Amino acid sequence: MSISQLLEQYGEEYLLALLTTWKLTAICFSAAFLIGILITVFRVSPIRPLRIFAELYIQIFRNIPGASLLILLVYALPYLNVLLSYFLCVAIAASLIPAAFCSEYLMAGINTIAPGQIEAARALGMTFPQIIRGVVIPQALRSSVLPLTNLLTATMLTTALASQVPMKPRDLTGLVSHINTHAVGGVMAFLISASLYCATAVVIGQIGNLIDRKVRILR
């Protein structure tokens, strides 16, 4: 099929798929960020069970393949009488996994802080919450901008898992699979989706670079 035919027939669906991918990415990244913060808090806390729990979480969700996790959520959970919608399964898989990486990046951000600064803040008489708010969080976040930007792109790529379940509306990858199983979509069908993914990734990268340049800490 030529590009004009494709767009005529599937143009609207491509737009819908793009929005679906964006929506999934936004939801999953936000969830991953929040979970990542929580896991990081556990990791640095003086409470051992929480630290162990956090380390376990990271080892499991850093290393589990997305497909494996999705299959567990979609096909295995019903055996435990837990039925989740397809959308929810994809969202959970695409949130839990990036959350592990988010925590790793935040941890690296915290470790960019010269430890003496925390001592200096303490010596001034600042309390623990003041030190966290005034020294740790600003520096950790500002140092993690680039890795977190990459994580946003990676999350978007992970949402392609949605193509593995009969989720409606379809995402960009699921749409290509659909078009090509019902017609000869050819390279064009693939290229449209690929370009949309790619363009989004490039824009995310550019914005990330801009933000990083503004907030980067000179050391």
Partner 1 sequence: MYDTDTKNESRQPIISLQHVNKYFGQLHVLKDISLDVYRGEVIVVIGPSGSGKSTLCRTINRLETIDSGEILFEGKPLPREGKELAALRAQIGMVFQSFNLFAHRTILDNVTMGPMNVLHTPKKEASEEAMRLLERVGVGTQASKVPAQLSGGQQQRAAIARSLAMHPKVMLFDEPTSALDPEMIGEVLDVMTSLAADGMTMVVVTHEMNFARRVASRVVFMDSGSILEENTPDEFFTNPKTERARFFLNSIQGH
Partner 2 sequence: MSTVRITARDMLYEEPGPKAKLRIRVVTGISLAAIAALAVVVIRQFYITGQLDPKYWSFFARATTWTFLGKGLLGTLEAAIMAGILAFTAGFLLMLGRISRFRILRGICTALIEFTRGVPTLLFIYFFFLVVPQFGIQMSAFWKISIPVAISACGVVAEVLRSGVNAVPKGQTEAALSLGMRDGSVFLKVVFPQAIRYVIPALIAELVIVVKDTTFAYVVNFPDLMQNAKVLISNYDALLSVYLVVAVIYILINYLLNRLSDTVAARQRRKKLNVT
Interface with partner 1 by CB under 8 A: which residues? 113-114, 116-117, 119-127, 130, 134-135, 138-139, 142, 217-219
> Apex CA 25: angle with CA 93 and CA 157, to 5°?
75
CB–CB of 34/95 below 8 Å? no
Question: Which residue in the set 95, 103, 149, 193 belongs to the binding site for partner 2 (CB under 8 A)?
Answer: 193
Q: Which is nearer to partner 1, 109 or 147 (CB)?
A: 109
Site string for partner 2, 126-165 (x = CB under 8 A): --x-------x----------------x--xxxxxx-xx-
Q: Which of 151, 28, 165, 22 is nearest to 95 (CA)?
A: 28
The position carrying tokens 């003086």 is 46
184: left (phi over 0), alpha (psi -120 to 50) or beta: beta
Q: Tell me how many residues contact partner 2 (CB under 8 A).
A: 67
129 binds, among partner 2, partner 1, none (CB under 5 to 8 A by kind): none
Two structure tokens written together for 56 = 């376990």
**Judged by CB under 8 A, which stretch of 4-12, 23-31, 194-202, 210-218 contacts partner 2?**
194-202
Quote the least distance from Cβ 38 to partner 2, whole Å: 13
Contact between residue 175 and residue 17 where contact means Cβ atoms under 8 Å apart = yes
**Contact criterion met (CB below 8 Å) for 14 and 191:** no
Tokens of 120: 């200096």
Residues 6+ apart with CB under 8 A from 57: 39, 100
Question: Looking at 4-12, 88-96, 172-180, 209-217, which segment touches partner 2 (CB under 8 A)?
Answer: 172-180
Whose Cβ is closer to partner 1: residue 126's or residue 204's?
126
Q: Give the shortest CB-34-to-partner 2 separation in angstroms.
A: 19
Secondary structure of 26-75 as H, E, C letters? HHHHHHHHHHHHHHHHHHHCCCHHHHHHHHHHHHHHHHCCHHHHHHHHHH
CB of 115 to partner 1, least distance (A): 9
Q: By CB under 8 A, is residue 48 in contact with partner 2?
A: yes
> What is the binding site for partner 2 (CB under 8 A)?
44, 46-50, 53, 59-60, 62-69, 71-72, 75-76, 79-82, 107, 110-115, 117-119, 122, 128, 136, 153, 156-161, 163-164, 172-173, 176-177, 180-181, 184-187, 189-190, 193-194, 197-202
